Structure 1
C-alpha cells in the first residue's frame, strides 16, 4: 500500500480525508501489501483504535466535517506510521502481508476477528491497545503460539506464563525507576515536590517512588508529597515551592489532563520560580508541551522511543509526514513506523525463532531496545513475558527535545 497524496493544505481537512482513506482501506478485513512469490510471505495482524464506526453515520457520511476529534489522533498517527513502514518495506523489496483492524469498530472486534479462518495464517500480532483488548490479544498469541508485540501499553496487565508477549513500552515501574534515578543523579539537591491526585492509581506511583527512595540508612531524597484536587490552580502549587531555590516538580499521575494542567499552572508562576518539571511516560502524547508559555521550562519525562531531531532518518520521516498531513508526526506516528518496520524485518529473518532474537540490532532505526525475559515464578524456565528495559529520559526546552541519559 503506497502513501495516499492529498491536495488540500488545511491540516484538519487533510486529517478528515485521511479518516475516509483509512475507512476505505479497512473495508476488507485482510489487506495484502505485497504479492506472494516462491519465498514465504509472513502475515502480520495490526490492531489499532481508529473509531471508524463513530466517524460515520448510517449513510456513511463523515460526522465531523473538516475536523478530527481529539480521541482519533493517537490511533490515526500510529496507523500513518504503519503505512510509512510498509511503504519502506515495499521499496526495499520485502515481502509481507499486513491486516489492519480497527479495535473500536464492529469489524475489528477481536473475538470475532480471530475466528476468521484467514486469521489462522497470522504469524505475528502488533497492537496499539490497552485494557481488555490487550488481554484478549495476549491470550490469542499464547493460544496460537505467535508473538504479540504490545507497542504502546506500559503494563503487563497481570499476564503471567505467556512467553509470546513482548512489551515494547516498558512497564510503569521501569519508567518510575528511570525517573527516580535521573532525579537522584541530577537534581537531588533541589527542592523536590511530588504532586498527585487522591486515588489508587496515583497511590501506585507514589508507593513505587517511596520504594526506590528507601535505603538501609533512610531515604535518599527529600521528597514532599502534595495531593491536589482536579480543579487546582497555580496558587495550589505555589505554596509548596521555594522562591529562592531551584524547584523540581514531579507529576505523580498518569492522567494526561492532570499532567497538562500541572504544566500550564506551573508556567503561570512566572520567572520568580525556578522550575524543572518531571512527567510520566504518557507525556509523549501531550501536544500542549509545545505551547509558548512552556518553552523556557525544562520538562523531563521518560520514554522508550527516542527520535533525535538531528538524525537524517528522523528528518526524512518528519518531512514526508508533513507533506502528507501538514502536521508534524507525534511520537505515536514514530512508534507505529518503527515497531512495524523493525519487528516485521525480525520476523522475516528469524521466523518462529524471533522471540529468541529480539535484541538483534540489524534493523535498528532510531531507538535501542533491550528486551529481557521476566520471570515471576522462582525456578521457572519459561518467561512470563519479555519486557523492553531500555528507558530514555528526554528533556524538552526552548523548542528542542534532548536525550539526557
Structure 2
C-alpha cells in the first residue's frame, strides 16, 4: 500500500531554525486548499495503486486549517483513493492550536493521530527558537488531546540548542515519559543556510551550535529511551510497544508515496518528483487545464532513478532503521559490493548481521551517516 503526504504551506510565524517551505501570509489559504484537492485528482495515478495505508498532513502548520478546509481535502481523498481500514491519518499540530474547538473538529474527521511540534518544555528554548506557543501550552496540550480521545500521539523535541542544558533536556524527556506519550521524534538543532538562526549566528547575536553538546545529549537520549522502554527503531524516532509511525516508516522502507502541495516530494519506485517550493508559482501552474500544462508551467521536476540511485537510497534509509538492510533486497550487481564493503564495519563493531540482515549497533548509530556514505556506490 502507498502513502499520501499533503503539504500545508502556512505558518503563524517563522521559527528561527526552520528551512521548510511555508508562508506567514494566509491570504491564499482557501485557494490553496482547493488547489491541493485538484492536484490530488490530477496526480492520483502516479502511485502504482490507490489503496493508502497512511495520510500525513504536514507543513507548515496544518492545524491552522478550519473544518470546511479539512472537509475539502478528506472528501477528495475519499473520491480518489481507498483508505485501508487501519490507515494512519496524521495531522501535524502546534500546541497553541490544540484547543477544545479545534480538537472537536479533528475528532469528527478521519484524523486519528496528532504529531505535536513541542520542541521543548522550556520557555527560554521556545523564545530562542521563536516558537508560537508557551511552555505551559506545550504541557497542557498533551492532556487536552487525550481528553478528546486522541491517544495516538507523537511529539517532536529538539536537543543541542545553546539554551538547552543537559538538565533541561532531561526535564523535557521526563515530561514525555510521565505523560506516557507512545512515540517521539528527537532532532539535533541544525543551522540551515538562509534561516534567521544562521543570520543571528553570523552576526554574533546567537551562540553557534556545540556539536559536543549535541552528541552528549543524543547519548543522554539513548540512555533515557532504554530506561523508559522506548525502542529506537530509527535514528531519530522512538516508540513504546511497537507504535511505529506508519507513514514515516514507509519512506524508510522505500514504499511509494504521493506528495501534494508546494515543495512536496513523491516516489513510486522508479521516479522521484518534487513540486515547486513557491506558493504563487504553484498556484499559477495548477491554474492551467491539465497536469501536462501544469508541468510545462513548472509545477514539478522529475528524476528517473538509476539502479545506483536505488541502491544508495536503500542503504541510506535502511541502515537508519531497526530493520536494517538485507542483501537479498539489493539488485545483483551491487549485492557483492555491499557485502564486501560492510565487512569493515562488522569487524569494528559498528554493524551486526542477524538473520542475514545488517543493522547498526548502538555505536554505529552514532556515526550512521558516515557508515551509509562509506557504503554508497560511487560511479566515479
TM over 0.5: no
Q: Which gives a bigger RCO, structure 1 or 2 (Cα 8 Å, sep 6+)?
A: 1
Structure number with bigger Rg: 1
TM-score (norm 2): 0.28
